[in-house]
Amino acid sequence: MREYLERPGFIAEVIRTDRRKTADIRVEDGAVLIVIPISLPIERVDSLLKTKRTWIKEKIALHREAQPASEKQFVSGEAFSYLGRNYRLKVEEGAFQPVRLLKGRLVVTVPKGKDQPHMIRNALIRWYKRQAEQKLCEKVERYAPIVGVEPADVRIKTFKSRWGSCTAKGILEFNWRIMMAPNRCVDYVVVHELCHLKRHDHSAEFWKEVGKVMTDYERLRTYLKHSEYGVW
């Protein structure tokens, strides 16, 4: 269950879960996230955000300073790739609404102000992460029996220079930015990490396992190696 709270300079995404007894405030990729128990009153959430406002603003500022220069201005008409296809951004002004894919456009509603580009960027990242959570889990479920493995868990992460990883505990971690690549490339990354559950190296035996499932893996691997998805 997700809710959104508009506050000066940022939008806080509120997630209610029965797996927490206390509130947890995070700033991930410059976006504010607060995970709370299901029964916690929204007034209490507002109080927590006020208490942590200075810390939140500092975290957001540090994230912005660390970001490389981007050609994106996050305005209507800009193109953003999803599964290899470009979709035009449509920005509407008003009370915040998360990104929706409507009639071939990525539509987002944000309040007017100097922080609007940052809010749009964060809203887009949140949308890509939600798509990654759904699509990558579906693909893992599809390919795991074919590879002949069973991962311990699937998690969505932010990596600077890799598309995914397989931990020693059998947890598959995927970079949300892979959702910008063509669908076949996403399949390859999933198969690649699943095969690491058999071989934790990049030996000839490992690539043989990948090739059993995807005969065109070399082409896909080369394509991703030279791609620049998600530089914004």
Q: How many domains does the chain have?
A: 3
pLDDT tens-place string over residues 192-231: 999 999 999 999 999 999 999 999 999 999 999 988 776 6
Same domain, 102 and 158: no
Which range, 40-49, 110-119, 169-178, is most confident? Answer: 169-178
- List pLDDT tens digits, range 114-171: 889 999 999 999 999 999 999 999 999 999 999 999 999 999 999 988 999 999 999 9
Inter-CA distances, 11 with 41, 48, 110, 174, Å: 18, 14, 9, 25
How many Cα atoms sit within 13 Å of 71 on the Cβ side? 7
58-95 confidence digits (pLDDT tens): 999 998 888 777 789 999 999 999 999 999 999 999 99
Question: By mean pLDDT, which of 26-30, 33-37, 138-142 is the weakest?
Answer: 26-30
Whether 141 is in a domain gets the answer yes
pLDDT of res. 147: 98
Domain carrying residue 26: 2-66
Domain presence at residue 93: yes
Whole-prediction pTM: 0.90
Same domain for 58 and 104: no
Confidence (pLDDT) at 228: 75
Domain assignment present for 74: no
Enumerate residues 6+ apart whose C-beta is below 8 A from 52.
25
In the predicted model, what is the mean pLDDT of residues 101-113?
95
Looking at residue 186, which CATH number applies to its domain?
A: 3.30.2010.10
